[in-house]
Chains A and B, each alone.
Chain A
Amino acid sequence: MRFLFSDPFIKVAGKELGFSISSPVALRTLIGRFPADLIEMIHHDPSVSDVELWAHVMFFNKTRLLRLDDMIDNDETIKVLLPATGG
């Protein structure tokens, strides 16, 4: 599976980060495999809730905003964007 990053995450993570997974894995687990500086940038920690994470970063598959407990397949591509928080 692949994460595709947009600004400003691209500066830390590059354009793309891929993981090979043999069976579906929770998004939370995959985020845990991110480099430490990226984890810090998105304010992730094991206790974070969806809504707290969404204040800093959003993960989208083809159709919707993903939750931390969503299961990700190996053939999925996930876009990583700054949140759409308001205006």
Chain B
Amino acid sequence: MLGYHKKILRVDLTERKVEVRDMDDALLEKYVGGVGLGVRLLYDETTSDTDPLGPENILAAMTGPFTDSRVPSSSRHHVMGRSPLTGILGESNVGGSWAVHFKKSGYDGIVVTGKADGPVYLWIHEGGVEIRNARPIVGKDSIESAEWLKGQTTDKASAAVIGPAGERMARIAGIPHVGTIVRQAARCGLGAVMGSKNLKAMVTFGTKKVPQANEDGLKEAMKTVLPHVRKVTETFGKYGTSGGVENYERLGNFPLQNWRSSRWADAVKISGPTMHDTILKSRTACLQCPIACGRHIRIEDGPYGPVDGEGPEYETMGTMGGECLVDDLAAICKANDLCNRYGLDTMSTGSVIAFAMEAFEKGLITTADTDGIELRWGSGAALVEMTKKIGLRQGIGELMGEGVLRMARALGRNAIEFAMHVKGLEPSAHDPRRFWSQALSYGTAARGACHNAAWSHPYELALFMSELGLDQPHPSCQVEGTAEMTAKLQSYQSMNDTLIICRFTQVGKAVTATNIVDWYNLITGRQVDITEMMTVGERIFNLKRLFNTRLGISRKDDFLPPRFLTHNRKGEGITTQLPPMGKLLADYYEYQGWSEEGLPTPEKLRQLGL
């Protein structure tokens, strides 16, 4: 099978040992790439006793057959390990340029185990892998560190490099990837896993081309596909992911005041068009992406100082803006920039600050706990200062860096009532009361309150995919059909995360399931159909559930926090309804072939070859 080097790098930091293992076609046919190979490794090489911050945890970064091909928006890889934030499966999918440079160095994936006896970085290139001293950049932020690392290797390199938050093992630390742009593998605290291993960075560059079965065929296909993708996604690219802020606010999907408010006229101040008209310097793109949804913003000066770098995404606007009621665009941009530098997940950071604001309002914490900072709703200054404290693990920032659930437990009293999380992961900026498939996705996604596992909210509004049996956008707040639609999309998005291709190619049906399967066949030389590829996706999704089942996860963990189930949004134009999780989950388990307790049955596992 083509499209792969069929080589996985293994690095044991304790023993300072590097080896290369071959992958056979049977494994690749069954799991394909990215998330599939990652979850197989995670399942096989960790146990229920594995400490997420211990040397026995693994950190895997996997590419797919689409990586370094002509397929649009495919410069992505999947990072996995047991999550120190949730204690269960940890995963994060990230763009930029690292995946392409890494694959061009001659490997499909890397697995890091053990713990170095001092700070190190990996330099991965066509000639092999070197374990090098990272002491000169300890404590430096990700951007400064990447500059130094490029000076030690090549300025063309891309670096997966943690900042102070990861080094100090904040459980909401992500892994910034710094090439010509910055993207983060943000979710699940995987930056802390790197920190626990004394692994400051993985730097890579290469030029080795991977062979493809029908490169000319793929090139020909792209002659029509790429102009179509550019045309369909033009508006999305122009205004970025936050172009939808005003619309989502009107729909009741945008999170407000730790998810307890309904409407917010100030949302327009932090929308994509506002950013476009005020501080946008240029659009940015991951390698080989015709959409270019990224923002390079510049703020010359102001209360938070200058910012010149990546602009905030929709999810950041939702968590740092809406959840905290901060309509100060400059403050959000500064906090976003700090997250990129310290290596923090903006979603978890914004969520934990919103949680702390509510705790402050209720008197569970005071200025005596915050070093005098008034943690008031809407305070841009508080947002920026608390982000600094979390990133540097100073004062109350140390507790906040543990995430919402641990902070709520530490505060005690009734804090758990307004701790917004599922399985310990803070939600992204989509309201499960507006989109019930999102409620199911938050409940059943392997990593916790994740919108990407199904990425179903667009399909509950304006998207459909006939090849999957989804012929029309699914009606909102309707039990009938929601379980089936969510499960199908979870399999489909698992398929996309194993090949790997960005969700945003689905905007306006720019790329279809048929396209994706055709391209897989052209690259690998196989002849599979959509049904077979969807089975791969379903297998991967079930193996993730099986991993969590081994750790004790079941139906009891698939419910949403009380506020989502008891407190509805109200206001002009709001049509949200409380999701009936009991019924939705019962339907979902039945469709998935899982038991009433939400466990994959032996029959289901046999059917999927697990």
Give the B-binding residues of A (Cβ under 8 A).
Answer: 6-8, 43, 50-52, 54-58, 60, 62-63, 65, 79, 81-87
Which residues of B from 448 to 503 have beta carbons under 8 Å from A? 451, 455, 457-458, 461-464, 473, 503
- Chain B residues with Cβ below 8 Å from A82 are 235, 239, 243-244, 246-247, 271-273
Q: A86 touching B455 by the CB < 8 A rule? A: yes
The answer to whether residues A84 and B244 also contact, given A51-B463, A52-B232, A79-B250 and a CB cut-off of 8 A, is yes
- Chain A residues with Cβ under 8 A from B462's Cβ? 50-51, 54, 58, 65, 83-85
B241 interfacial contact with A, CB 8 Å: yes
* Chain B neighbourhood of A65, CB < 8 A: 461-462, 473
Assembled-state Cα–Cα distance A87/B431 (Å): 12
A86 partner residues in chain B, CB cutoff 8 A: 236, 241, 244, 314, 455, 457-458, 503-504, 506-507
CB distance from A42 to the nearest CB of B (A): 8
Q: Specify which chain A residues have a CB less than 8 angstroms from the CB of B593 in the assembled complex.
A: none
- Bound state CA distance, A85 and B461, in angstroms? 9
The reply on B508 being an interface residue by CB < 8 A is yes
> Chain B contact residues: over half helix, strand or loop, or mixed?
helix
A83/B235 contact (C-beta < 8 A), A7-B273, A51-B463, A55-B507 known: yes
A82 to B276, CA, bound (A): 13
B148 at the interface (CB under 8 A from A): no
List chain B residues, Cβ under 8 A from A51: 462-464, 508-509
* Contact A55 B251, CB 8 Å, known A7-B274, A86-B241: no
Q: List 6 A–B pairs whose Cβ atoms lie within 8 Å, in order of A's numbering.
A: A8-B239, A55-B236, A56-B508, A58-B247, A83-B243, A86-B244
Q: A81 near B247 (CB under 8 angstroms)? A: yes
Nearest chain A CB to B302 CB, angstrom units: 22
For residue B318, CB closer than 8 A to chain A, the reply is yes
- What CA separation (Å) do A83 and B507 show in the bound complex? 10
B239 proximity list for chain A (CB < 8 A): 8, 82
> Which residue on chain B has the smallest CB distance to residue A87?
B314
List A contacts of B503 (CB < 8 A). Answer: 86
User: Do A84 and B236 touch across chains, with their CB atoms under 8 A apart?
Assistant: no
Q: Cβ of B575: which chain A residues have Cβ within 8 Å of it?
A: 63
Q: Which chain B residues lie closer than 8 Å to A85 at the CB level? A: 236, 241, 243-244, 458, 462, 504, 507-508
B271-327 contacts to A, CB under 8 A, are: 271-274, 276-277, 313-315, 318
Report the bound CA distance from A55 to B276 in whole Å: 18
B228 to A, closest residue via Cβ: A52
Question: When the two chains form their complex, are residues A7 and B313 in contact, meaning their CB atoms are under 8 A apart?
Answer: no
Q: How far is the CA of A69 from the CA of B462 in the complex (A)?
A: 15
Also in contact, A6 and B246, with CB within 8 A (given A43-B231, A51-B463, A86-B504): yes
Apart from the given pairs A51-B508, A87-B244, 6 other A-B contacts in the complex at a CB distance below 8 Å? A43-B235, A82-B271, A83-B235, A84-B251, A85-B508, A87-B313
Give the contacting residue for B235; candidates A6, A50, A56, A87; CB below 8 A. A56
**Chain B neighbourhood of A7, CB < 8 A:** 246, 268, 271, 273-274, 277
Of the candidates A43, A57, A79, A87, the one whose C-beta lies within 8 Å of that of B241 is A87
Q: How far is the CB of A55 from chain B (nearest CB, A)?
A: 3
Distance, CA A6 to CA B231, complexed state (A):
22
Q: Are A55 and B232 in contact (CB under 8 A)?
A: yes
User: What's the Cα separation between A82 and B234 when bound, in Å?
Assistant: 12
Contacts of B430 in A (CB 8 A): 87
Instruction: Please report the C-alpha to C-alpha distance between residue A7 and residue B241 in the assembled complex, in whole angstroms.
Output: 15
B477 to chain A, nearest CB (A): 12
* Distance between A26 CB and nearest chain B CB, rounded to angstroms: 18
Q: Give the distance in Å from the alpha carbon of A52 to the alpha carbon of B414 in the complex.
A: 47
B220-264 with Cβ < 8 A to chain A:
231-236, 239, 241-244, 246-248, 250-251, 253
A13 to chain B, nearest CB (A): 14
Of the candidates A52, A63, A87, the one having the most CB atoms from chain B within 10 angstroms of its own CB is A87
B573 at the interface (CB under 8 A from A): yes
Residue contact B461 to A84, C-beta cutoff 8 Å: yes
Q: Within 8 Å of chain A (Cβ to Cβ): is B548?
A: no
Within the assembled complex, what's the spacing in Å between the Cα atoms of A81 and B243? Answer: 9
User: Cβ of A8 and Cβ of B461 under 8 Å apart?
Assistant: no
CA distance A8 to B239 in the complex (A): 9
Shortest Cβ gap from B315 to chain A (Å): 5
A contact residues around B231 at 8 Å (CB): 43
From the candidates B247, B277, B473, B573, name the one contacting A83 in the complex (CB within 8 A).
Answer: B247
Closest 9 CB pairs of A and B: A55-B508, A87-B314, A7-B273, A84-B247, A84-B244, A54-B462, A56-B235, A81-B247, A8-B273
Indicate if B517 sits at the interface (CB-CB under 8 A). no
Closest CB in chain A relative to B238 CB, distance in Å: 9
Nearest chain A residue, comparing its CB with the CB of B238: A8
Q: Which residues of A contact B314 (CB under 8 A)?
A: 86-87
Tell me if A83 and B244 are in contact (CB < 8 A): yes
| Residues on the B chain within 8 Å of A50, using CB | 462
Residue from A43, A50, A81, A82 having most chain B Cβ neighbours under 10 A: A82
Question: Which residue from chain A places its CB closest to the CB of B315 in the assembled complex?
Answer: A87
Decide if A8 touches B276 in the complex (CB within 8 Å): yes
**Is residue B428 contacting chain A, with contact meaning CB distance below 8 A?**
yes
Closest to B233 in A: A55
Within 8 A of A (CB), among B487-545: 503-504, 506-510
Which chain B residues lie closer than 8 Å to A54 at the CB level?
A: 462-463, 508
The answer to whether the Cβ of B429 comes within 8 Å of any Cβ in the partner chain is yes
From residue A27, how far is it (CB to closest CB) to chain B in Å? 14
**A87, B232: Cβ atoms under 8 Å?**
no
CA distance A51 to B509 in the complex (A): 7
A84 vs B457: C-alpha distance when bound (angstroms): 9
Min Cβ gap A8→B in Å is 4
Chain B residues whose C-beta falls within 8 Å of the C-beta of A8 in the assembled complex: 239, 273, 276-277
Residue among B243, B276, B318, B430 with the highest chain A CB neighbour number at 10 A: B243
- Which residues of chain B are near A81, meaning CB under 8 Å? 246-247, 250
Query: A52–B508 contact, CB under 8 A?
Result: yes
Q: How far is the CB of A78 from chain B (nearest CB, A)?
A: 12
